[in-house]
Structure 1
Amino acid sequence: MLARSRPKILTVLHQETSSPGRVGHMLIERGFDLDIRRPPLGDPLPDTLDGHAGAVVFGGPMSANDPEEFVRRETEWMRVPLKEKKPFLGICLGAQMLAKHLGGKVEGHGRGLVEIGWYPIEATGDGRQLLHWPDMVYQFHREGFTLPADATLLATADAYPNQAFRYGENAYGIQFHGELTQAMMHRWVVHGAHRFTLPGAQPGRDHLGGRLIWDMHLRRWLGEFLETIFGHAPVR
């Protein structure tokens, strides 16, 4: 008997060694397969998501304001899930691209502050109606975004007020990272150590120590959040 195909989630990564991490694990556990594309390496993005159950666009070291052709192309591509009303999640760079596509601005903090480490967030009233949010989340960014018109703010913070938003019923953007496995965090701490001297950044030991305290709550939230956006793949 032929194995039945599982619905696919378009999974957009931005480096050769990037991984979808726990987001990928959790989507597979929910009955989906991952269709991984890396636009910086020349992978095309589909003209339609008719063959996909949704999409996730992850982060990366580049800026949504960079002049590279793939950045412009990927930002413009956001029209596809929005027009087709397919479930969509943008994480960090992915959220910034979504915000920029919707008319928001992507920019650094006015005083040069970054969020690199563990920082508190607070859910808005709309966010609390959606699900229970963690008190602390893991961040790794030097830019944030303004809230697009007609978007609903779901979570906020001090240095970068726009931490999570929903646009329409199916598109979500989050500034922070819930996808990191322990191995991924160790790699980020090693390869990103040169950023720990930036204003507001935390030393590497605090990244790893904070994980022992707060990651279990972030992991629980991530599972509930993905359930809210993508649900489970239908049994065929």
Structure 2
Amino acid sequence: MPTAPSAPPAPSVPPAERPKVLIVLHQETSSPGRVGQALERRGFHLDIRRPRFGDLLPQTLEAHRGAVVFGGPMSANDPEPWIHREIDWMEVPLREQAPFLGICLGAQMLARHLGARVAPHGDGLAEIGYYRLRPTASGSSLMDWPDFVYQWHREGFEVPAGGELLATGDAFENQAFRVGPAAYGIQFHAELTYHMMNRWTVHGSARMAMPGAQGRRDHFAGRALHDAAVRAWLDRFLDLWIGTADQPAAQAAAG
């Protein structure tokens, strides 16, 4: 399958004048990581908002090229009002067919918005570390996928009605799906940087004792083996999903 050329370096245009991508984070110290870095290299300005701490989400994405909703330690099933408001807000990118990406919690929120179930594994398993990923026929027709991806979750999502399953896993079968022309949900963390892995495995060390989770040493060994393929996948995905500031992806332009 032919691949698009790598994105050019970010242009020397003031950030306020660049096309914006909405970035939704859920903790005070959260970072958009490699996804944010890649979007900036593609010429986008990151409009970072944290609804959990009072930031409002836009009523339309007309002023944004797309939106990314990241993960967090909370659950899409939690009763906090801000979680319900954020799930309801996902009507905006879906209605406008704007490029939307939900990562981990963001994907689970998208599934909930569309009426699908989000729940823990039936045997109490967690995926914390690197785990095998298998593209479906639909996923393979879009792009090449890495064999292993980084996970940090104990809940999974059903594929919503009308959604297209793109990748599967072992313990948690549903790993990536698409809804409409430009909305994607992925369970795994392609945004992870080396700094983030250090922080997560220190502050979240208790989670590595959960059934199915991998030990800290295995996280770093897995990164050495698999990170290059995940990084290459992210570039392919962004080519497909949003393109660059100067050259939108075909589906982004159509939306």
TM-score band by shorter chain is over 0.9
Structure 2 residue corresponding to 1:63, chosen from 72, 75, 81: 75
Alignment of 1:1-236 (within 5 A): 5-234=17-246
User: How far 1:4 sits from its partner (Å)?
Assistant: 7.5
User: How far 1:3 sits from its partner (Å)?
Assistant: 8.3
RMSD of the TM alignment (CA)? Answer: 1.3
Q: For residues 203 and 56 of structure 2, what CA distance do their matches in structure 1 show?
A: 28
Q: For residues 161 and 59 of structure 2, what CA distance do their matches in structure 1 show?
A: 25
- Secondary structure at 1:189 match in 2: helix
Gaps of 5+ in 2: 1-12, 248-255
1:147 aligned partner, one-letter code = V
Provide runs of 4+ in structure 1 moved above 6 Å.
1-4
Gaps of 5+ in 1: none
Q: For residues 11 and 170 of structure 1, what CA distance do their matches in structure 2 show?
A: 16
Question: What TM-score comes out, normalization by structure 1 length?
Answer: 0.97
Q: For residues 196 and 64 of structure 1, what CA distance do their matches in structure 2 show?
A: 21
2:84 aligned partner, one-letter code = R
User: How far 1:2 sits from its partner (Å)?
Assistant: 8.4
Q: For residues 76 and 142 of structure 1, what CA distance do their matches in structure 2 show?
A: 23
Q: For residues 153 and 3 of structure 1, what CA distance do their matches in structure 2 show?
A: 36
| Alignment CA distance shift 1:187-1:150 (3 Å) | same
Equivalent residues of 2:16, 2:45 under 8 A apart: no
User: How far 1:209 sits from its partner (Å)?
Assistant: 1.1
Q: For residues 29 and 16 of structure 2, what CA distance do their matches in structure 1 show?
A: 30
Q: For residues 217 and 167 of structure 2, what CA distance do their matches in structure 1 show?
A: 26
User: How far 1:151 sits from its partner (Å)?
Assistant: 0.4
Question: What TM-score comes out, normalization by structure 2 length?
Answer: 0.90
Which has the larger displacement, 112-121 or 225-234? 225-234
User: How far 1:234 sits from its partner (Å)?
Assistant: 2.0
- Secondary structure at 2:94 match in 1: helix
Equivalent residues of 2:15, 2:45 under 8 A apart: no
| Alignment CA distance shift 1:205-1:101 (3 Å) | same
- Secondary structure at 2:167 match in 1: strand
- Secondary structure at 1:159 match in 2: coil
| Alignment CA distance shift 1:48-1:195 (3 Å) | same
User: How far 1:158 sits from its partner (Å)?
Assistant: 1.3
